[in-house]
């Protein structure tokens, strides 16, 4: 079944060809020394400015409306969510030249992309590989500029809890240590985690933002943010968390954004500032799809 984003939808993402790396002690600045491909001329992230209006059309999301069994894992540098579904979600449209298969999603504390120099508190990446490849690893190895499609979403801090995210927030409380995992309950349609209006987005070609920084990504950055509370005031004990959905907002008990910041690295530090600094644009064009009904 297909949903158009003008109605309701979602997607998911992945980090790069997994390598040992760190953000600590300005580690990202040194990646090109250890991983030469991180010194390419089409690197990500970048600062979004001086855009070109375009009509790229709507996305079509297949199977993103179905409840998904999701497991979240502390990878030591990010919280990564994987799905267990018989038929993997796929993505077409939005100016993409192929169909893409969903792999996984992860988060960066402090947005990687910036908008005219402004950094958001968090960014979510949903990565897909081109369906002509058997998997993500094969797609990256191809070296093709659109082998991978990443959808990026920015978070904004609000005073009100976003209850759609509380199942993931609860799971994060159980994965503070590296290499620990927790199932997200109940199973969740990914479209519930995203803005309803996905008609406005930016598009450019770049790279994975973690080593080995392969230049194989067609990026989509959505301009509508995801609201999430900085604190959903803790007023009752953890033993009562399962009653969350029966409580009124004044009794909601979750830390939302703070749960990501409590995740630990292999060195025992908190996973804060897990973003790569903006890279040189090097003349690349950034398209802006302004919406198809405005």
- Catalytic positions are 77
How far from chain centre, in Å, is Cα 150? 8
Q: Which residues contact 237 (CB under 8 A, 6 or more apart)?
A: none
Measure the CA angle with vertex 149, ends 144 and 152; round to 5°.
140
Angle at 107 between CA 42 and CA 185, to 5 degrees: 145
* Residue 88, SS3 per DSSP: coil
Q: Which residues contact 25 (CB under 8 A, 6 or more apart)?
A: none
| Angstrom distance (rounded) from CA 252 to CA 250 | 6
How would DSSP label each residue in 159-205? SS--GGGHHHHHHHTT--STT-EEEEEEEEEGGGGS-S---EEEEEE
Residue (of 173, 169, 181, 129) closest to 151 by Cα position: 129
């Amino acid at each position: 079944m297909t949903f158009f984003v003008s109605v309701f939808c979602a997607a998911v993402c992945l980090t790069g060809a997994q390598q040992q790396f760190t953000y600590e002690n300005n580690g990202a600045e040194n990646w090109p020394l250890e991983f030469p491909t991180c010194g390419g001329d089409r690197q990500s992230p970048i600062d979004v400015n001086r855009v070109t209006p375009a009509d790229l059309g709507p996305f079509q999301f297949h199977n993103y409306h179905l409840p998904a069994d999701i497991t979240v894992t502390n990878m030591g540098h990010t919280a990564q969510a994987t799905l267990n579904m018989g038929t993997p979600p796929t993505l077409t449209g939005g100016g993409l030249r192929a169909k893409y298969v969903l792999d996984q999603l992860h988060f960066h504390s402090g947005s990687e992309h910036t908008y005219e120099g402004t950094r958001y508190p968090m960014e979510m990446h949903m990565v897909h590989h081109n369906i002509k490849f058997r998997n993500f690893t094969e797609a990256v190895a191809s070296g093709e500029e659109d082998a991978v499609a990443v959808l990026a979403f920015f978070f904004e801090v609000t005073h009100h809890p976003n209850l759609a995210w509380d199942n993931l927030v609860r799971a994060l409380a159980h994965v503070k240590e590296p290499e620990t995992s927790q199932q997200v309950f109940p199973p969740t349609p990914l479209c519930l985690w995203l803005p309803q209006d996905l008609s406005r987005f930016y598009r450019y070609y770049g790279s994975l933002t973690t080593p080995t920084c392969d230049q194989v990504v067609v990026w989509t950055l959505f301009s509508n943010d995801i609201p999430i509370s900085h604190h959903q005031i803790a007023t009752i004990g953890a033993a009562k968390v399962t009653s969350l959905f029966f409580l009124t907002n004044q009794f909601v008990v979750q830390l939302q954004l703070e749960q990501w910041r409590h995740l630990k690295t292999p060195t025992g530090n908190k996973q804060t500032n897990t973003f790569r600094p903006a890279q040189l644009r090097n003349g690349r064009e950034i398209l802006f799809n302004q919406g198809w009904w405005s």
